[in-house]
């Protein structure tokens, strides 16, 4: 592995970059040695405060507590919009590219201000106050960003639910944090197909009696059902609302949003982020990691339903007064050239996407790429899962014409912003490595006993001290935060990822070490899929593992044991697939279902997933120790029953 190629910072890049190698070294050292002074300077440089803070940071990793800029006051929407108006009111804030290539529009900062104020007033009129939760279930249209910013403006806490989630998943998330208002659209459009968002919402809301207002954006004009009193057309409501709305001055530690994410156990957790530290880290990383310069056109292909969309489509870029491109469609519609057509059409400089998209496009060959110009591009980025070196090389050579650095950014919903990442003017790149820590981030590798590994080696990736955009709590269940992140290795934040550190101190993420799958960059707990499967009356037991998948990174492999007397059939398989899609959403569609007469269990009844993973990956030579199994013959049965999949 030490022989992996290194790509130096391209000639000329460092000179124009915000941060070169010397600056990275000096600033990183300072950020660790004098964190309070360092972060105070950054908070002054990046944000506009109503009231200065009293204390920069306080944290206790034994209790899982962290507070940044306590006593400071600011408003996120003011920072993302109002303060830019004097200088760039007429500059574009959001370029929207619709699903069809003929469909686009541009929204200036002044127009953004107008739209956000009006929607904020609509929410206020419907009784939404500071601290109230608002659910957002939207396609990728500018109104999704307006909705987030309108909440931020009045101090409401948004909970964005990915538009691909099922009514069942939406209902759970609305109930968990007691949302009283939902903002949605009639239908979404992706890859030429419509998604019945309002219909899904109606089904979810049937079980949410406390939700009193559903604001509906007209995206397609498709037929929808209507509940008088509860449902409100967005267009009519904002037209009638005032275009001015005073921003609520929020405490730096007031909640900004909740975003649900999967863990290894139980239902998804509501990750809570607060105001000051979150905005600082997303703004700062957006500027330095993407080397963003005024006027650059920046495109992150994520969905606002995920943290990447929150931090790097909406909050980070807008805090910096950037031009952020929002894309409604998919990379392969109408053709595999779509991304590069969009790059050429809008003159995109910075392009940020996920390895799964890169692999899918790579599978379509070079031609759809080389037929386009891409001369505007200067930087590429990736996020969501480890990128295999072949995909990295292809991205670098074919998409970036061997000109553009690639920033491989490692971070999590819980970290809020980038944690391990190259800075393009400072860091030599190694394909597949997320390289080095961002300012203020202190990564460590821990062995199984929790001891820090020095120098090159592999272990559990943990973080030693708080960073500004750290998760503050799991909504409604602080103990779950402590149990999940701060208990395995007392005194550290445990990421759930494994990593290797090489002789240059570079980090290589090896993937999750817990029961969390990463399917096309989407996190999913194996427990969630198992719960969906066992809802079927014919299923006795189910165990789900990930297995290597060429495009998705990981595929979903389900072992299913039927109730005695039940017979396996393809029809039943289809019912089980349908069950997962209905309970969670299309992203949870199993790739393989294997009928298993029994599951490998220890004598205490714990399923040995290690063995299931090996069988799923076809690594049969090396199953490891099976002597602790209650019934070792189960393994042979499993191997034999692979034919039944």
Query: Which of 111, 497, 528, 583: binder of ligand 6R9 (CB under 6 A)?
Result: 497
Applying the rule CB under 6 A, the residues between 519 and 548 that interact with ligand 6R9 are 523
- Provide long-range contacts, Cβ within 8 A and 24+ apart, for 626-634: 626/600, 628/602, 628/603, 629/600, 629/601, 629/602, 629/603, 630/601, 630/602, 630/603, 630/605, 631/598, 631/601, 634/597, 634/598, 634/599, 634/600, 634/601
**Residue 96 marked as a ligand binder:** no
Task: Answer yes or no: are the C-beta atoms of 174 and 133 closer than 8 Å.
Answer: no
| Residue closer to ligand 6R9, measured from CB, 244 or 390 | 390
Beta carbon of residue 382, minimum distance to ligand 6R9 (angstroms, whole number): 6
Query: Which of 268, 496, 555, 585: binder of ligand 6R9 (CB under 6 A)?
Result: 496
Site for ligand 6R9 contains 307 (CB under 6 A): yes
Applying the rule CB under 6 A, the residues between 385 and 414 that interact with ligand 6R9 are 385-386, 408-413
**Residue 523 marked as a ligand binder:** yes
CA atoms within 13 A on the CB side of 20: 8
| Residue closer to ligand 6R9, measured from CB, 67 or 512 | 512
| Residue closer to ligand 6R9, measured from CB, 261 or 466 | 261
What contacts 131, CB < 8 A, 6 or more positions away?
A: 155, 156, 157, 254, 255
Beta carbon of residue 413, minimum distance to ligand 6R9 (angstroms, whole number): 3
Task: Say how far apart CA 520 and CA 308 lie, in whole Å.
Answer: 14
Q: Residue 147 is inside which H or E element, if any?
A: helix 142-154
Task: Answer yes or no: are the C-beta atoms of 9 and 424 closer than 8 Å.
Answer: yes
In 447-569, alpha helices (H): 478-485, 526-534
Query: Which of 518, 526, 531, 594: binder of ligand 6R9 (CB under 6 A)?
Result: 518
Query: Terminus-to-terminus CA distance in the chain, angstroms?
Result: 36
Applying the rule CB under 6 A, the residues between 431 and 490 that interact with ligand 6R9 are 434
**Residue 386 marked as a ligand binder:** yes
Beta carbon of residue 410, minimum distance to ligand 6R9 (angstroms, whole number): 4
Q: Beta strand pairing status for 193-195 and 188-190?
A: antiparallel
Beta carbon of residue 352, minimum distance to ligand 6R9 (angstroms, whole number): 11
Task: Answer yes or no: are the C-beta atoms of 23 and 9 closer than 8 Å.
Answer: no
Site for ligand 6R9 contains 328 (CB under 6 A): no
**Residue 330 marked as a ligand binder:** no
| Residue closer to ligand 6R9, measured from CB, 213 or 460 | 460
Task: Say how far apart CA 49 and CA 75 lie, in whole Å.
Answer: 8
Residue nearest to ligand 6R9 (CB): 413
Cβ-based burial of 618 (10 A; exposed 0-12, middle 13-18, buried ≥19) = exposed
| Residue closer to ligand 6R9, measured from CB, 1 or 239 | 1
| Residue closer to ligand 6R9, measured from CB, 253 or 385 | 385
**Residue 255 marked as a ligand binder:** no
Q: Return binding residues.
A: 190-193, 308, 384-386, 408-413, 497, 512, 520, 523, 534, 536, 539
Rule CB under 6 A: which residues touch ligand 6R9?
Answer: 261, 306-308, 383-386, 408-413, 434, 495-497, 509, 512, 518, 523
Q: Return binding residues for Mg(2+).
A: 534, 536, 539
């Amino acid at each position: 592995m030490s022989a992996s190629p290194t790509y130096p910072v391209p000639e000329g890049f460092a000179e124009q970059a915000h941060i070169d190698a010397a600056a990275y070294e000096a600033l990183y050292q300072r950020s660790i040695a004098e964190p309070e002074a360092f972060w105070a300077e950054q908070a002054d440089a990046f944000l506009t405060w109503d009231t200065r803070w009293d204390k920069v940071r306080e944290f206790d990793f034994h209790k899982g507590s962290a507070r940044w800029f306590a006593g400071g006051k600011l408003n996120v929407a003011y920072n993302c919009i109002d303060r830019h108006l004097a200088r760039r009111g007429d500059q574009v804030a959001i370029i929207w590219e619709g699903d069809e290539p003929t469909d686009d529009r541009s929204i200036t900062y002044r127009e953004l201000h107008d739209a956000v104020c009006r929607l904020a007033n609509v929410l206020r009129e419907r009784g939404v106050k500071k601290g109230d939760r608002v659910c957002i279930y939207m396609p990728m249209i500018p109104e999704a960003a307006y909705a987030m910013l309108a909440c931020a403006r009045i101090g409401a806490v948004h909970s964005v639910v990915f538009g691909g989630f099922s009514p069942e998943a939406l209902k759970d998330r609305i109930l968990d944090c007691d949302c009283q208002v939902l903002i949605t659209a009639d239908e979404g459009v992706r890859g030429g197909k419509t998604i019945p968002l309002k219909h899904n919402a109606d089904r979810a809301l049937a079980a949410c009696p406390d939700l009193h207002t559903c604001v509906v954006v007209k995206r397609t004009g498709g037929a929808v059902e209507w509940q008088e009193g509860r449902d409100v057309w967005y267009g009519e409501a904002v037209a009638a609302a005032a275009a001015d709305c005073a921003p609520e001055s929020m405490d730096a530690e007031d909640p900004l949003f909740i975003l649900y994410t999967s863990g290894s156990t139980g239902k998804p957790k509501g990750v809570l982020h607060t105001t000051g530290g979150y905005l600082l880290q997303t703004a700062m990383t957006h500027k330095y990691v993407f080397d963003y310069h005024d006027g650059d056109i920046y495109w992150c292909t994520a969905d606002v339903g995920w943290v990447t969309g929150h931090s790097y489509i909406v909050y980070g870029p807008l805090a910096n007064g950037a031009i952020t491109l929002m894309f409604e469609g998919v990379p392969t519609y109408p053709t595999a050239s779509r991304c590069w057509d969009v790059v050429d059409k809008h003159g995109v400089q910075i392009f940020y996407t996920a390895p799964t998209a890169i692999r899918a496009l790579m599978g379509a060959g070079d031609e759809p790429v080389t037929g386009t110009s891409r001369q505007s591009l200067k930087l590429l980025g990736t996020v969501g899962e480890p990128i295999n070196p072949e995909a990295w090389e292809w991205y670098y050579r074919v998409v970036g014409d061997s000109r553009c650095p690639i920033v491989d950014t490692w971070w999590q919903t819980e970290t809020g912003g980038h944690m391990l990442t190259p800075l393009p003017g400072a860091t030599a790149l190694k394909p597949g490595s997320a390289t080095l820590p961002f300012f203020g981030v202190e990564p460590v590798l821990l062995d199984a006993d929790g001891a820090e590994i020095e120098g090159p080696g592999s272990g559990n990736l943990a973080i030693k001290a708080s960073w500004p955009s750290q998760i503050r709590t799991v909504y409604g269940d602080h103990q779950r935060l402590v149990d999940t992140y701060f208990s395995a290795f007392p005194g550290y934040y445990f990421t759930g990822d494994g990593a290797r550190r090489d002789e240059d101190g570079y980090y290589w993420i090896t993937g999750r070490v817990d029961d969390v799958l990463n399917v096309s960059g989407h996190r999913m707990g194996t427990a969630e899929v198992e719960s969906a499967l066992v809802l079927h009356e014919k299923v006795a037991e189910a165990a789900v593992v990930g297995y290597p998948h060429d495009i998705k990174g990981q595929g979903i492999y389900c072992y299913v044991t039927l109730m005695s007397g039940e017979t396996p059939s393809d029809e039943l398989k289809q019912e089980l697939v349908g069950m997962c899609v209905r309970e969670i959403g299309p992203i949870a569609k199993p790739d393989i279902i294997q009928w298993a007469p029994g599951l490998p269990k220890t004598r205490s009844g714990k399923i040995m997933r290690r063995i299931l993973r090996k069988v799923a990956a076809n690594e049969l030579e090396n199953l490891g120790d099976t002597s602790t199994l209650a019934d070792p013959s189960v393994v042979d049965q499993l191997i034999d029953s692979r034919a039944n999949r």
